């Protein structure tokens, strides 16, 4: 078993970065080479802006290369809850942004000729208990009425053609949702950004930033650069030089396993629908087939801000138990990959984007960034070029989390609360 991300291991390294020391004067510096930062750099370079991208590890290292591979339409909340929290206009605009981002990903893949197994497979949110059915049915009816008439309710009998398990009692099908190979997409967007003129330095974390007359000086282990504007696209991996954001974000570990490739017969008796799947528990699981027919199965197996080989092994064992509980037919199937990563969460789970602390930023995707981050990366590029109406999240207040200084000590208590709710309701 490999303790590395399947997306990283099966995509190969990005080969277009600058090997020399960081240096130069730029119009915009982007920090973080995940989907947000890569797409911001690509659009800026494509628009003729002199742009640098600094990455602490390698392209796609963080959440963009450690997720479940889902590109799901709509946000996590019911539309009525989003309206109450954000107001109707902003709730509609945010919902559209998730859908528009999937369309944008599809266009970028076509324009830049990125081979990353993009497919509109659809997503099913599965009712994990009989008591969840009525609420999900009401949610489905609301989605159809308010924002997406293509959503469809599937009965327990309907699900037999999609997922072969006694663990589920119905579900919401969202046909617009898609999937792709996350590592190959990240590398493809990075290569495109370089072709358009972006300068990318990997393994160069920003260790300090200082005001200079025409903007900012950013310091890295190999050198410094100056930029008139800075885009921060680091989410859960935000460095200590940006504590304003660390006090508002909660990094939460998420863990994933991937089986050996399944035979066609094994696929047919497990997930014949070949879609994105997620269940309705508070501490949810998600799963899908990879392009080479592995079951990729993930979830927040533990509430922690730490992901390392020890936590990954323990969490992987729990995820395997959960997977076999849903699919006893996989009891003897080997696990080839086990990995974890950090997700940047806000208190209310809605993402935030705008301008603060001297930078443009987008983060706090709360486990739903794979789909939205491409859209927001392009929006950040527009904002840096003076297009203020590009941000669907403009004006949402973002207070600091009380008693939080960057290390979320309270996560085990949060996990205990949600596990109790899953047992009781």
pLDDT at 412: 62
The CA distance from 364 to 344, in Å, is: 5
- Give the model's pLDDT for residue 226: 98
pLDDT of the chain, 425 residues: tens digit per residue: 899 999 999 998 899 999 999 999 999 999 999 999 999 999 999 999 999 999 999 999 999 999 999 999 888 778 889 999 999 999 999 999 999 999 999 999 999 999 999 999 999 999 999 999 999 999 999 999 999 999 999 999 999 999 999 999 999 999 999 999 999 999 999 999 999 999 999 999 999 999 999 999 999 999 999 999 999 999 999 999 999 999 999 998 889 999 999 999 999 999 999 999 999 987 789 999 999 999 999 986 555 556 666 677 788 899 999 999 999 999 999 999 999 999 999 999 999 999 999 999 999 999 899 999 999 999 999 999 999 788 999 989 999 998 787 777 665 656 565 566 776 66
Enter the pTM of the model. 0.94
The Cα 267–Cα 372 span in angstroms is 29
Pairwise CA distance, residues 420 & 11, whole Å:
39
Provide the pLDDT for residue 201.
98
- Contacts within 8 Å (CB) and 24+ apart, 146-154: 146/79, 147/74, 147/79, 147/92, 147/95, 147/96, 148/73, 148/74, 148/95, 148/99, 148/174, 148/176, 150/174, 150/175, 150/176, 151/175, 154/124
Nearest 5°: the CA angle 206, 27, 61 is 35
Q: What residues form DSSP beta bridges with 123?
A: 174, 276
Which domains occur in the chain, in start order? 6-411 (3.50.50.60)
Other Cβ atoms less than 10 A from the Cβ of 2: the count is 13
């Amino acid at each position: 078993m490999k303790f590395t991300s399947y997306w990283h291991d099966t995509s190969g390294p990005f080969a277009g970065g600058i090997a020399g020391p960081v240096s130069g004067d730029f119009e915009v510096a982007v920090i973080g080479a995940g989907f947000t930062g890569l797409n911001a750099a690509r659009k800026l370079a494509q628009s003729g802006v002199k742009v640098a991208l600094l990455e602490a590890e390698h392209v796609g290292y963080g959440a963009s290369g450690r997720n479940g591979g889902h590109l799901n339409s709509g946000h996590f909340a019911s539309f009525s809850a989003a309206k109450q929290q954000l107001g109707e206009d902003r709730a509609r605009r945010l919902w559209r942004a998730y859908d528009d981002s999937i369309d944008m990903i599809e266009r970028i893949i076509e324009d830049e000729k990125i081979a990353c197994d993009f497919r509109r497979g659809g997503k099913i949110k599965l009712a994990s208990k009989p008591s969840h059915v009525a609420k999900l049915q009401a949610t489905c009816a609301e989605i159809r009425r308010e924002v997406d008439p293509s959503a469809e309710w599937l009965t327990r009998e309907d699900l037999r053609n999609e997922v072969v398990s006694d663990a589920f009692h119905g579900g919401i099908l969202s046909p617009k949702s898609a999937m792709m190979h996350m590592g190959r997409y990240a590398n493809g967007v990075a290569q495109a950004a370089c072709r358009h003129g972006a300068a990318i330095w990997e393994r160069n974390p920003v260790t300090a930033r200082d005001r200079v007359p025409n903007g900012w000086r950013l310091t890295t282990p190999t050198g410094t650069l100056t930029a008139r504007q800075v885009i921060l696209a680091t989410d859960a991996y935000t460095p200590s030089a940006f504590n304003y954001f660390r006090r508002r974000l909660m990094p939460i570990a998420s863990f994933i396993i991937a089986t050996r490739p399944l035979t066609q017969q094994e696929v047919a008796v497990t997930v014949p629908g070949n879609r994105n799947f997620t269940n309705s528990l508070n501490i949810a699981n998600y799963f899908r087939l990879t392009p080479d027919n592995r079951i990729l199965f993930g979830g927040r197996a533990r509430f922690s801000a730490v992901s390392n080989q020890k936590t990954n092994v323990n969490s992987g064992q729990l995820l395997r138990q959960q997977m076999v509980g849903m699919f006893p037919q996989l009891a003897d199937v080997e696990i080839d990959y086990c990995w974890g990563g950090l997700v940047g969460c806000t208190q209310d789970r809605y993402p935030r984007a705008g301008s603060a602390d001297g930078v443009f930023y987008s983060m706090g995707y709360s486990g739903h960034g794979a789909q939205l981050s491409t859209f927001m990366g392009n929006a950040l590029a527009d904002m840096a070029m003076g297009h203020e109406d590009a941000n669907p999240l403009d004006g949402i207040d973002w207070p600091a989390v009380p008693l939080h200084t960057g290390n979320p000590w309270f996560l085990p208590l949060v996990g205990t609360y949600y596990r109790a709710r899953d047992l009781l309701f």
